[in-house]
């Protein structure tokens, strides 16, 4: 009796796992339709976004759709992805290219993935006038391997370094992702800095993100009267941050802004859970940037699918269910 129950549980687990993987093609088709609809005026007759002397087996839109599908399903390892595609889904992807070619072309399509993300996000952010900014650590290795690690060190200016995470109350080695979203949690812009760069030094970059005539809610890490005045003068951005308890003219942070800030914290939790933001397999800064951008673009497109299907905007795990 006991062995029969165990066998039933194993069979049920295997069935659920394979059923989820067999949805890979249908989910791929959803992302492919979205990608083609955004780039319909940019696609060559060959179905590509870039000119190739010899027509490749997979089109550029298919490359982008496959990367978005894998990240949205929590498959962040290219080795594992291609193993499953070749063993379980070869009839569904008859024009599959080799993994190294896929990796090279995905990096070349970085700007198009960025355009896809920005186009869909801007469409959903129409009329928004309240935004949130926050940062999250992006470690690239364990702190013990800091001295010997060689990845992402192509240039000294963009090489990773050690930083402190106030949330985890510990040091880490890598980068810091700064993300700006609307009050509903929809992407607006992002930037990647060294881990040691303080949040407040990201504020001057906001003048180049297109933010204007809006309210920007941040935490104490972005507290600076100088940058606050500069943003308001140049972009009409009203920066709202909590005051420190020992600060002169201390004022309690308005509860409405405290509630607003929870949205981006929930988004970071979703990025770490479903999209495994802090798991890094990249060997170069470009590779890491492509992975981060693809994960965030995946979030944006899942939010868009939810709006199309009249589902709660940020129920990301169920966006592909319909």
Q: What would the 3-class secondary structure string for 194-245 be? A: ECCCCHHHHHHHHHHCCCCCEEEECCHHHCCHHHHHHHHHHHCEEEECCCCC
Confidence of residue 247 (pLDDT cuts 50, 70, 90): low
Answer whether 202's CB lies under 8 Å from 178's CB: yes
Could you give the CA distance from residue 158 to residue 162 in angstroms, rounded to a whole number?
Answer: 13
Q: Are residues 45 and 137 in the same domain?
A: no
Answer whether 132's CB lies under 8 Å from 260's CB: yes
Q: Are residues 33 and 135 in the same domain?
A: no
As for how many domains the chain has, the answer is 2
Q: Are residues 165 and 260 in the same domain?
A: yes
Average pLDDT, the chain: 86
Residue 253, domain member (yes or no): yes
Could you give the CA distance from residue 27 to residue 279 in angstroms, rounded to a whole number?
Answer: 23
Q: Is 130 helix (H, G, I), strand (E, B) or coil?
A: strand
List the domain range (segments joined by +) for residue 97. 2-108
Closest to 73 in 3D by CA, of 275, 272, 270 = 275
CA atoms within 13 A on the CB side of 246: 0
Helix axes 110-124, 60-72, angle to 10 degrees: 70
More confident residue, 248 or 235: 235
Residue 260, domain member (yes or no): yes
pTM of the model: 0.87
- Of 55, 80, 108, the residue at which a domain comes to its end is 108
Residue 145, domain member (yes or no): yes
pLDDT of residue 322: 66
Answer whether 126's CB lies under 8 Å from 154's CB: no
Q: Is 146 helix (H, G, I), strand (E, B) or coil?
A: coil
Q: Are residues 213 and 151 in the same domain?
A: yes
Length of the chain: 322
Q: Are residues 156 and 236 in the same domain?
A: yes
pLDDT > 90 in the chain, percent: 48
Could you give the CA distance from residue 277 to residue 190 in angstroms, rounded to a whole number?
Answer: 14
Q: Are residues 72 and 161 in the same domain?
A: no
- Average pLDDT of the residues in 216-232: 86
- Average pLDDT of the residues in 38-43: 92
Confidence of residue 113 (pLDDT cuts 50, 70, 90): very high
CA 29 to chain centre: 20
Q: Are residues 72 and 138 in the same domain?
A: no
For 40, phi and psi rounded to 5 degrees?
-60, -30
Q: Are residues 88 and 157 in the same domain?
A: no
Instruction: Count other C-beta atoms under 10 Å from residue 14's C-beta.
Output: 10
CATH number of the domain that residue 189 is part of: 3.30.420
Nearest 10 degrees: CA dihedral of 94, 95, 96, 102?
-170
Confidence of residue 11 (pLDDT cuts 50, 70, 90): very low
Q: What are the contacts of 51-56 at 24+ separation with CB within 8 A? A: 56/97, 56/101, 56/105
**What would the pLDDT profile of 264-316 be if each residue is shown by its tens digit?**
999 999 999 989 999 888 889 999 999 999 999 999 999 999 999 999 999 99
Report whether pLDDT(155) > 80.
yes
Q: Are residues 139 and 242 in the same domain?
A: yes
pLDDT of residue 206: 86
Confidence of residue 116 (pLDDT cuts 50, 70, 90): very high
Residue 309, domain member (yes or no): no
pLDDT of residue 295: 95
Q: Are residues 137 and 95 in the same domain?
A: no
Report whether pLDDT(228) > 80.
yes
Alpha helices in the chain (DSSP H): 2-22, 24-38, 60-72, 78-88, 99-108, 110-124, 225-235, 255-273, 285-308
């Amino acid at each position: 009796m006991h062995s029969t129950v165990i066998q039933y549980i194993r069979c049920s687990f295997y069935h659920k796992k394979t059923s989820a993987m067999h949805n890979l093609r249908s989910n791929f088709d959803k992302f492919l339709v979205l990608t083609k609809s955004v780039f319909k005026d940019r696609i060559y007759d060959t179905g590509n976004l870039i000119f190739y002397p010899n027509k490749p087996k997979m089109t550029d839109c298919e490359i982008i759709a496959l990367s978005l599908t894998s990240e949205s399903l929590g498959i962040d390892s290219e080795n594992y992805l291609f193993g499953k595609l070749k063993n379980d889904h070869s009839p569904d992807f008859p024009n599959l290219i080799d993994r190294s070619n896929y990796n090279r072309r995905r990096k070349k399509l970085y700007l198009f993935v960025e355009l896809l993300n920005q186009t869909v996000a801007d469409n959903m952010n129409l009329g928004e006038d309240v935004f949130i900014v926050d940062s999250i650590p992006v470690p690239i290795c364990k702190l013990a391997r800091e001295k010997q690690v060689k990845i992402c060190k192509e240039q000294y200016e963009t090489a990773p370094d050690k930083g402190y995470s106030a949330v985890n109350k510990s040091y880490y080695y890598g980068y810091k992702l700064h993300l700006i979203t609307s009050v509903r949690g929809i992407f607006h812009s992002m930037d990647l800095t060294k881990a040691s760069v303080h949040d407040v030094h990201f504020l001057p970059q906001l003048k180049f993100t297109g933010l204007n005539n809006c309210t920007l809610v941040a935490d104490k890490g972005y507290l600076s009267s100088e940058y606050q005045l500069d943003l308001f003068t140049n972009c009409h951005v009203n920066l709202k941050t909590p005051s420190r308890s020992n600060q002169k003219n201390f004022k309690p942070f308005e509860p409405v802004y405290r509630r607003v800030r929870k949205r981006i914290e929930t988004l970071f939790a979703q990025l770490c859970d479903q999209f495994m933001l802090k798991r890094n397999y990249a060997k170069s800064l470009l590779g890491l940037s492509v992975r981060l951008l693809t994960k965030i673009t995946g979030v944006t497109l899942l939010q868009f699918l939810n709006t199309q299907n009249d589902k709660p905007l940020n129920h990301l795990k169920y966006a592909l269910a319909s």
